[in-house]
Amino acid sequence: MPPHDDRPVLTGLLALVGVGLAVGLVLGGGALAVTRVLGVDGGSATTATTDVASLYLPKPQKTDAPSGPLLTLSADPKKGSAPSEKPKKPKKTKKAEGEISLSAGQTQVAPMGQIDLTGVYPGGEGRVLQVEKFVGGNWQDFPVTAVVSNETFTTFVQTSSQGVNRFRVVDNDSGTSSNDVRVTVG
């Protein structure tokens, strides 16, 4: 027996490493050649490229001040011109403008369970409403707000105070408050 057959596992491992190294070099060289031909390597490519600015900014020039009015004003009704059509009557809503209607999605939850609060605030577009909780005979700010969008709002609260909890929302800008909702916790 030749001396190199004493360790067949080592011989097999060395052969495997040698074949892997040879295949890796061939594939790496091929990939390098392909990237150079396609110009992907960032170096010189077979097609010429030019360095042209892609953004054109003209030099600032002074402009003249506007000569006419900046706003288009409607015709003055005192001078005899009347609107071409009658004004449309506003749509009636269930709640009068400025009244906040609040409802709770749940009537009973576990401690720290989610209580969904939704409501309608006609005419309150964009207003931020502060949620308040009734504690010890007084309304106190709860650390949650809701923003009115399309005259509606939605938010949720969580509390660990067991028993009946009362919540409402207040528009601090106008002082308008909603009806209160009662949710049993526990």
The strands making up 101-104's β-sheet, listed across from edge to edge, are 101-104, 115-120, 152-157
Kindly report the pTM of this predicted structure. 0.48
pLDDT value of residue 52: 59
For domain 101-185, the CATH architecture is: Sandwich (2.60)
Amino acid letter, 157:
V
Tell me whether strands 108-109 and 181-185 are parallel, antiparallel or unpaired.
parallel
**Beta pairing, strands 115-120 & 101-104:** antiparallel
Each residue's pLDDT expressed in tens, for the chain with a length of 186 residues:
455 567 888 888 999 999 999 999 999 999 988 888 887 766 554 455 556 556 667 788 888 877 766 665 555 555 544 455 555 555 544 445 668 999 999 999 999 999 999 999 998 889 999 999 999 999 999 999 999 999 899 999 999 999 999 999 999 888 889 999 999 998
Q: Identify the CA nearest to 158 among candidates 123, 96, 112.
A: 112
Domain ranges of the chain: 3-38, 101-185
